[in-house]
């Protein structure tokens, strides 16, 4: 089967969050399973672009209304990623460091989508399936069905995978003229909430819709930032497929970011050495349990709960725990977290920013990983932490509910129901008690390390979904 994945992010090329991890791993496992897999991402100004070899396989001009942007399709030539990588180079729009957050993001991602389809229809053969990811690629299923110049793709199945339904890529009908020519009788397909809503368009037009966990699919029928009714309507073509993790990248036995590598055979020693390294780096006490958080400091992640919850936990249990935060996002949360350092020096620290290597060291060296999320479509951190023998403390939501069961019910982590400071602190209390019960603690750590979250198992579910839509053709 020839599969195209089209995405704004892909690890290790450009990563902001879990979308990159998924698009950098799933294609690799699909290739290993014998499929021809191509991943298409924009060409940002990244280290990866500078350090790798590319050949130009196609070039053209994207017409966006009155604008004309030259583009190149660059194929990475070393093939070391385990799948074929293509980067769409549109210098004027993408030769920048940050993936998102630019005023012209609508123009950028629309041009990326048009350039990608221009290239695909110029080939002799059409792909068997096109898998789009999130709203940045949401107009592709529409353009394949309705835009005259992509007629040849009308019968090629498309699938949209939703990694986060909160972000929808809305823009005003003023920009309708950006969309390549189509019969205006279809214009209402673009509309949701009085604007063009890229994610809604994909949900309407894709032949199949997947979310990154089964429970998230259930939740978005009730809470989806305005798309609830639409999700209900397309339930017949939707499926929740739990994300896997790349067990080659995330392996404590080989991870080069660690102070000491370890496996289930020597995890106690291994984790302790990594913890000592972390504690030295951040002025913490290695004899006490270490609680960490890694992620975007936003309300959806429960980031706003962290400053208060940390202060309460550190005040009540001052001598009993360490907290280490790694993240960036909302500037108010960032400054609240930074200011805690004055009061709790020696037991608390925060690294405000993005640091891939440090994240790996924390998964290895921490004892507990906090995930107080309000919304968590799947969540990968809890799976990484379990693989590294670190116990997740999660709010029961989205994919966290699918992957973490409270140890009181014989499970692999600690769970609470409310996104409140009280619930987070109560879980921390339980964790401190658990930390003193080494037998129980080690049982849960081993349970996590033994859990199979690999893509090998999950990637077949994607293939089955593709087969179903190919059969519909
Ligand atoms: P989301 O995609 O919603 O941010 P996920 O749990 O799906 O959340 O994936 C988050 C990914 O991003 C993980 O690989 C995590 O380690 C990484 N990550 C998030 N924030 C940081 C950070 N500040 N530094 C390093 N890695 C980070």
Condensed to tens digits (0 to 9), the pLDDT of residues 112-138 reads 999 999 999 999 999 999 999 999 999
CA nearest ligand 1 atom 4, residue: 17
Does position 57 have pLDDT exceeding 90, yes or no?
Answer: yes
Does the model's pTM come out above 0.85? yes
On whether both 106 and 223 belong to a single domain, the answer is yes
Mean pLDDT of 314-343: 96
258 occurs within a structural domain = no
165 CB under 6 A from ligand 1?
no
Task: Convert the chain into a string of H (helix), E (strand) and C (coil).
Answer: CEEEEECCCECCCECCCHHHHHHHHHHHHHHHCCCEEEEEEECCCCHHHHHCCEEEEEEEEEEECCEEEEEEEEEECCCCCCCEEEEEECHHHHCCCCCCCCCCHHHHHHHHHHHHHHHHHCCCCCCCEEEEECHHHCCHHHHHHHEHHHHHHCCCCEEEEECCCCCCCEECHHHHHHCCCECHHHHHHHECCCCEEHHHHHHHHCCEEEECCHHHHHHCCCCCCCCHHHHHHCHHHEEECCCCECCCCCCCCCCCCCCCCCCCCCHHHHHHHHHHHHHHHHCCCCCCCEEEEEEEECHHHCHHHHHHHHHHHHHHCCCCCEEEEEEEECHHHHHHHHHHHHHCCCCEEEEECCCHHHHHHHHHHCCEEEECCCCCCCCCHHHHHHHCCCEEEEECCHHHHHHCCEHHHCCCEEEECCCCHHHHHHHHHHHHHHHHCHHHHHHHHHHHHHCCCEHHHHHHHHHHHHHHHHHHC
121 occurs within a structural domain = yes
On whether both 274 and 373 belong to a single domain, the answer is yes
Domains identified in the chain, total number: 2
On whether both 296 and 346 belong to a single domain, the answer is yes
Does position 317 have pLDDT exceeding 90, yes or no?
Answer: no
336 occurs within a structural domain = yes
On whether both 363 and 411 belong to a single domain, the answer is yes
CATH number for the domain harbouring residue 211: 3.40.50.2000
Q: Is 22 exposed, middle or buried (0-12, 13-18, 19+ CB in 10 A)?
A: buried
pLDDT of amino acid 78: 87
426 occurs within a structural domain = yes
Give the number of other Cβ atoms within 10 Å of residue 438's Cβ.
10
On whether both 235 and 301 belong to a single domain, the answer is no
pLDDT digits (tens, 9 = 90+) for 368-409: 999 999 999 999 999 999 999 999 999 999 999 999 999 999
pLDDT of amino acid 457: 81
- For a ligand 1 pocket test, name from 359, 375, 384 the mutation site with the most ligand atoms within 8 angstroms of its C-beta: 359
pLDDT digits (tens, 9 = 90+) for 218-236: 999 999 999 999 999 999 9
pLDDT band at 240 (very low <50, low <70, confident <90, very high): very high
255 occurs within a structural domain = no
296 occurs within a structural domain = yes
Cis ω for the linkage preceding 470 (within 30 of 0): no
- For a ligand 1 pocket test, name from 162, 294, 390 the mutation site with the most ligand atoms within 8 angstroms of its C-beta: 294
Å from CA of 19 to ligand 1 middle: 9
Mean pLDDT of 155-159: 98
pLDDT band at 318 (very low <50, low <70, confident <90, very high): confident
Lowest mean pLDDT, pick from 19-23, 65-69, 463-467:
65-69
Residues in the chain: 473
On whether both 200 and 301 belong to a single domain, the answer is no
260 occurs within a structural domain = no
Does position 319 have pLDDT exceeding 90, yes or no?
Answer: no
pLDDT of amino acid 469: 98
Half-sphere exposure at residue 465, Cβ-oriented, CA atoms within 13 angstroms: 25
Using DSSP bridges, classify how beta strands 54-64 and 67-76 pair: parallel, antiparallel or unpaired. Answer: antiparallel
On whether both 226 and 274 belong to a single domain, the answer is no
pLDDT digits (tens, 9 = 90+) for 285-310: 999 999 999 999 999 999 999 999 99
Q: Is 73 exposed, middle or buried (0-12, 13-18, 19+ CB in 10 A)?
A: buried
pLDDT of amino acid 245: 97
pLDDT band at 345 (very low <50, low <70, confident <90, very high): very high
17 CB under 6 A from ligand 1?
yes
On whether both 218 and 73 belong to a single domain, the answer is yes
CA nearest ligand 1 atom 8, residue: 18
On whether both 204 and 308 belong to a single domain, the answer is no
Å from CA of 33 to ligand 1 middle: 27
373 occurs within a structural domain = yes
On whether both 199 and 287 belong to a single domain, the answer is no
394 CB under 6 A from ligand 1?
no
381 CB under 6 A from ligand 1?
yes
On whether both 185 and 334 belong to a single domain, the answer is no
pLDDT band at 20 (very low <50, low <70, confident <90, very high): very high
Domain that residue 435 falls in = 267-451
On whether both 237 and 303 belong to a single domain, the answer is no
């Amino acid at each position: 089967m020839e599969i195209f994945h089209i995405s704004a992010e892909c690890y290790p090329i450009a990563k902001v969050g879990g979308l990159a991890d998924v698009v950098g791993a799933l294609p690799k496992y699909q290739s290993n399973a014998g499929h021809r897999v191509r991943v298409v991402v924009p060409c940002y100004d990244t280290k990866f672009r500078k350090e790798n070899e590319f050949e130009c396989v196609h070039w053209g001009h994207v017409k966006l209304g009155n604008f004309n942007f030259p583009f190149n399709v660059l194929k990475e030539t070393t093939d070391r990623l385990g799948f074929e990588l293509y980067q769409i180079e549109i210098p004027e729009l993408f030769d920048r460091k940050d993936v998102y957050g630019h005023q012209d993001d609508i123009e950028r991602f629309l041009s990326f989508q048009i350039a990608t389809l221009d290239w695909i229809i110029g080939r002799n053969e059409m792909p068997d399936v096109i898998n789009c990811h999130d709203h940045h690629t949401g107009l592709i299923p529409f353009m394949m069905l309705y835009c005259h110049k992509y007629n040849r793709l009308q019968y090629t199945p498309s699938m949209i995978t939703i990694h986060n339904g909160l972000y929808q890529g809305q823009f005003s009908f003023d920009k309708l003229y950006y969309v390549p020519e189509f019969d205006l009788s279809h214009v209402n397909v673009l509309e949701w909430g009085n604007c063009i809503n890229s994610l809604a368009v994909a949900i309407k037009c894709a032949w199949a819709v997947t979310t990154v966990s089964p429970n998230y699919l259930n939740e978005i029928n009730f809470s989806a930032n305005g798309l609830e009714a639409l999700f209900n309507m397309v339930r017949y073509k939707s499926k929740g497929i739990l994300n896997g993790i790349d067990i080659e990248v995330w392996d404590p036995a080989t991870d080069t970011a660690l102070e000491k590598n370890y496996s289930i055979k020597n995890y106690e020693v291994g984790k302790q050495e990594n913890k000592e390294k972390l504690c030295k780096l951040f002025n913490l006490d290695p004899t006490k349990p270490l609680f960490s958080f890694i992620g975007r400091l936003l309300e959806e992640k429960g980031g706003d709960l962290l400053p208060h919850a940390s202060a309460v936990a550190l005040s009540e249990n001052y001598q009993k725990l360490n907290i280490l935060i790694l993240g960036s996002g909302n500037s108010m949360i960032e400054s609240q977290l930074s200011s805690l350092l004055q009061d709790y020096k020696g037991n608390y620290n925060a690294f405000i920013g993005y640091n891939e290597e440090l994240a790996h060291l924390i998964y290895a060296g921490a004892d507990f990983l906090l995930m107080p999320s309000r919304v968590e479509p799947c969540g990968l951190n809890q799976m990484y932490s379990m693989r590294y023998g670190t116990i997740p403390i999660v709010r029961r939501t989205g994919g966290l509910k699918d992957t973490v069961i409270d140890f009181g019910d014989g499970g692999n982590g600690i769970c609470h129901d409310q996104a409140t400071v009280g619930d987070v602190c109560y879980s921390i209390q339980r964790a401190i008690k658990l930390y003193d019960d080494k037998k129980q603690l080690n049982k849960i750590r081993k349970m996590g390390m033994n859990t199979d979250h690999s893509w090998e198992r999950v990637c077949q579910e994607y293939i089955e979904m593709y087969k179903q839509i190919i059969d519909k053709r």
